[in-house]
Copies of this chain bind each other. A is one copy, B any other.
Amino acid sequence: MKNQEELFLDFLARKRLKNTSQRMIILKSFLRQSLHLSTEDFYLQLRKKHPAIGYATVHRTLKLFAECGIAAERNFGDGQTRFEVNYDNEHHDHLVCTGCGKIIEFENRQIEQLQLDVARTHNFFIKDHRLELYGLCAACHASEASSLS
C-alpha cells in the first residue's frame, strides 16, 4: 500500500508533470491539517507559513489532488467547494450542522446497499453518490431549545 505522497509523485510522473517545491509543501500541509476546508480557508492557513505561495497554485494543486484520488471534493450547499483527504478510497457520507458548521462523518452499509437496489430497479448504472444529512448537532440543538422564549 502506497502512501499519499507516493501516490501523488506517481501521478505527476505519469502525467509528465513537474515536482515543484510548492506542490510538496501544499501536499504535506494538506495531509496534515485538512478536514473539509475550502480552498480559501486552506490558503489562509498555508499563507501563515508560506506567504509566497499564491492562491492560484493552491487551487490548481487541490484540483490535482482530487484528480489523482488523494483528495475528495465536497459541496455542502453553502456555495464553497471543500476538500478533504481521501484515505484509501474509503467512502463516507456526512452529517452537517447548520448551526455551527460541524461535520460528522458516517458510513452505513445498509444505506449503500439500498442505493444499489434503487439503481437496479431503474436500470441505472451508479458511479457515485452523495448523501448529506443537514440539521443540528447535540450542542446546537440544546442551545436552540434553551433560547426559545
Contact = CB atoms under 8 A, between A and B. Distances in A.
Interface of A: 75, 77, 95, 97-98, 104, 106, 108, 110-111, 114-115, 118-119, 122-138, 141
A114 B95 CA distance: 13
Tell me the number of copies of this protein.
2
Contact of A128 (B114, B125, B135): B135
Contact of A119 (B123, B127, B133): B133
A131 B129 contact: yes
A62 B125 CA distance: 32
A127 B132 contact: no
A104 B133 contact: no
Contacts of A131: 115, 129-131
